[in-house]
Amino acid sequence: MDRDELSLLAHGRHPIACPFGDRKVDRLIEQLEPAGAAGLLDVGCGQGEWLARVLSAHSGIRGVAIDRSARSLAAARDRIALLGSRIELHQVDASTYVQDCSDPFDIILCAGSPCLAR
């Protein structure tokens, strides 16, 4: 069993792969106060659950989700398909994306993924 398959199985009942429970995630999302058309970057998006919840709660946000796992991104694509064109998905390592990206982000979600600051 490879790492991607193991991760999807391990997080099957806990789609946000971080140490926060559903109530904590919901409280964090409620506390967001995005201004205008805010940009959100989800580093290590996994199945896209956290991103989907934020975009559902805040209609003005556009999201970019990155993950190294093709399987996770396929699950994320299915999960966030209803949210339409407000989302870009990229299969890329966080350090590579950060080096190549010039877009500003107002919100960054990163829990447990190696994320490099610029």
Residue 58, pLDDT score: 87
Which residue, among 17, 96, 29, has the nearest Cα to 61 in the 3D structure? 29
Residue 14, pLDDT score: 59
Is 116 within the bounds of a domain?
no
Q: What is the dihedral of CA 98, 35, 78, 84, to 10 degrees?
A: -110
Q: What is the dihedral of CA 27, 19, 36, 106, to 10 degrees?
A: 140
Residue 118, pLDDT score: 46
Note the pTM of the prediction, 2 decimals: 0.81
Is 57 within the bounds of a domain?
yes
CB 76 within 8 A of CB 67: yes
In this structure, what CATH number is given to the domain that contains residue 78?
A: 3.40.50.150
Identify the domain containing residue 42 by its residue range.
Answer: 3-109
Q: What is the dihedral of CA 93, 99, 104, 105, to 10 degrees?
A: 30
Q: Any idea which residue has 């709660």 for tokens?
A: 57
Residue 27, pLDDT score: 92
Note down pLDDT in tens along the chain; length 118 residues: 776 666 666 556 655 767 778 888 889 999 988 877 789 999 988 888 888 899 888 888 889 999 998 988 998 888 888 777 678 999 998 888 988 888 889 899 987 665 554 4
DSSP 35: -
Is 118 within the bounds of a domain?
no
Is 114 within the bounds of a domain?
no
Number of domains in the chain: 1
Report the C-alpha gap between 99 and 31 in whole angstroms.
29
